[in-house]
């Protein structure tokens, strides 16, 4: 089992769209895959048309209780399972703060529920809190979408500094450019400036695309209804690069 989180300090960078489409590919190509929606906005769950069960709450999740499989929902697609988000996850930090050994908790949780899956993919909440830190420690890789602006690059740097300070291996960190608009001079400059030099970046970028934005209306992964668009092809390439990174 390989686990990775989609993470960004900033919102609106295409994080959830990436999680939704990568999970779709992982399940189709590699077998059972669990997509964990820890973002309290619940967009991932929304895209897969999944509502949480009634009794799910952040306290039981933080405690790592074994009833979590009970909350897992099978998606419309073979081998793809979703642990849906819940508005109460906004309180997860508080619960993690209270429990002992909280730093290891997410890792134990992933190992426990991940046993039946080839991949566990976490759509992580966009902030740096104790919960995010636990996710960084718990997963094998942290995949960061970066919009090609200098401000976004700065937030990536901040994240790298945070990893260093917390003694979390930088090798876990994988970045790629997201929502790239080739018409913008700035985007081109940033993407081209990073390609060769920064090894955290995968040599692939996801274009800004109205096809991706349509996901909100269709409530399906882009790859399901439009496998040919440029963005869809880019997700395919991103997934191939990530798989390569995971095994090497």
CA–CA separation, 136 vs 67, rounded Å?
23
139 neighbors 122 (Cβ within 8 angstroms):
yes
Alpha carbon 248 to chain centroid, angstroms: 20
Closer by beta carbon to another protein, 4 or else 81 = 81
- Of 161 and 218, nearer to another protein (C-beta) is 218
* Tokens of residue 116, six digits: 């039946």
Pairing state of beta strands 173-180 and 201-207?
Answer: parallel
Report in angstroms how near the CB of residue 76 gets to another protein at its nearest: 4
Binding interface with another protein (CB under 8 A): 48-51, 53, 71-74, 76, 78, 81, 219
Backbone dihedral angles phi then psi of residue 202, each to the nearest 5 degrees? -75, 145
Distances in Å between the alpha carbon of 22 and those of 96, 181, 241? 28, 21, 12
**Least distance from C-beta 69 to another protein, angstroms?**
8
Burial (Cβ within 10 Å: 0-12, 13-18, ≥19) of residue 179: buried
Q: How far is the CB of 39 from another protein (least distance, A)?
A: 19
Please state, in angstroms and rounded to a whole number, the distance separating the CA atoms of residues 241 and 7. Answer: 17
Nearer to another protein, 182 or 219 (CB): 219
C-beta of 29 vs 129, nearer to another protein: 29
Beta pairing partners, 175: 144, 201
Rounded to a whole number of angstroms, the minimum distance from the CB of residue 24 to another protein is 14
Distance separating alpha carbons of residues 244 and 248, to the nearest angstrom: 6
Smallest gap, in angstroms, from Cβ of residue 72 to another protein?
A: 6
Dist CA 86 CA 210 (whole Å)? 28
Considering the complex, state which of residue 16 and residue 155 has its C-beta at the smaller distance from another protein. 16
CA distances from 185 to 171, 174, 180, 198 (A): 31, 25, 11, 20
Nearer to another protein, 80 or 174 (CB): 80
Q: How far is the CB of 203 from another protein (least distance, A)?
A: 30
Nearest Cα residue to 167 out of 137, 195, 189: 137
> Smaller CB distance to another protein: residue 12 or 53?
53
Give the nearest distance from C-beta 117 to another protein in angstroms: 12
């Amino acid at each position: 089992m390989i686990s990775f989180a989609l993470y960004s300090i900033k919102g609106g960078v295409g994080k959830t769209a990436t999680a939704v489409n990568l999970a779709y590919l992982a399940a189709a190509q590699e077998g059972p895959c669990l997509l964990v929606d820890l973002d309290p906005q619940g967009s991932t769950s929304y895209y897969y048309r999944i509502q949480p069960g009634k009794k799910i709450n952040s306290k039981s999740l933080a405690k790592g209780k074994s009833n979590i499989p009970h909350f897992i929902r099978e998606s419309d697609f073979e081998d793809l399972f979703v642990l849906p988000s819940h508005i109460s996850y906004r309180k997860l930090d508080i619960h993690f703060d209270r429990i002992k050994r909280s730093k290891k908790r997410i890792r134990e949780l992933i190992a426990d529920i991940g046993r039946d899956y080839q991949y566990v993919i976490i759509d992580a909440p966009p902030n740096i809190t104790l919960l995010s830190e636990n996710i960084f420690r718990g997963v094998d890789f942290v995949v960061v979408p970066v919009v090609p602006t200098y401000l976004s690059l700065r937030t990536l740097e901040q994240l790298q500094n945070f990893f260093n300070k917390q003694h979390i291996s930088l090798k876990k960190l994988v970045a790629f450019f997201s929502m790239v608009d080739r018409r913008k001079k700035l985007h081109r400059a940033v993407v081209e400036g990073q390609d060769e030099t920064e090894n955290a970046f995968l040599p692939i970028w996801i274009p800004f695309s109205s096809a991706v934005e349509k996901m909100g209306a269709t409530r399906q992964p882009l790859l399901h209804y439009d496998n040919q668009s440029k963005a869809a092809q880019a997700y395919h390439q991103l997934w191939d690069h990530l798989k390569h990174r995971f095994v090497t």
